[in-house]
Amino acid sequence: STGAVKMQPKAEELKFFTKNDGYVHIHPSSVNYQTRHFESPYLVYHEKIKTSRVFIRDCSMVSVYPLVLLGGGQVHMQLLRGDFVISLDDGWIRFVAASHQVAELVKELRSELDQLLQDKIKNPSMDLCLCPRGSRIIGMIVKLVTTQ
């Protein structure tokens, strides 16, 4: 009956943290400007501009598994204070895995995807859906991303 009710931030108050620029805001011309809540705290963006402050435009929310599987840099795993942590970008982005097995499987899936993409670059005519290895890897990624 008494107490505070958590309010969603106003559009101009919502900010995200980047490695190089610190806090950035979604530009008022962006279609996501009025979005006050994102399921994931991670966004990808196309354009960054600085006027009165640093803004991003053309942004989309990205969830954890697509970020780990398709993000740049190497994937590392380590044990920190009893938690298995998956890290990207030299440890700047970190996720706690449910178990050691989950962390290892995600790291291995990323490695397999990277190798599959290298094979496709070497042989552009390769059909990934007809290739048994490729179809298994792609099927697993689709299942993981759609059921998270």
Quote the CA–CA distance of 144 and 148 in Å, as a whole number: 6
User: Is the per-residue pLDDT at 46 higher than 80?
Assistant: yes
User: Does 39 lie in the same domain as 105?
Assistant: no
Q: What percent of the chain has pLDDT over 70?
A: 95
Q: Per-residue pLDDT tens for 23-44?
A: 999 999 998 898 888 888 889 9
Q: Could you tell me if 69 and 136 lie in one domain? A: yes
Residue that is written with structure tokens 């097995």 in the block:
101
Tally of domains in the chain:
2
Which of 11, 61, 57, 59 is closest to 34 using CA atoms?
A: 11
- Residue after which a domain boundary falls, among 42, 62, 82: 62
- Name the pTM for this structure: 0.75
Mean pLDDT of 84-96: 87
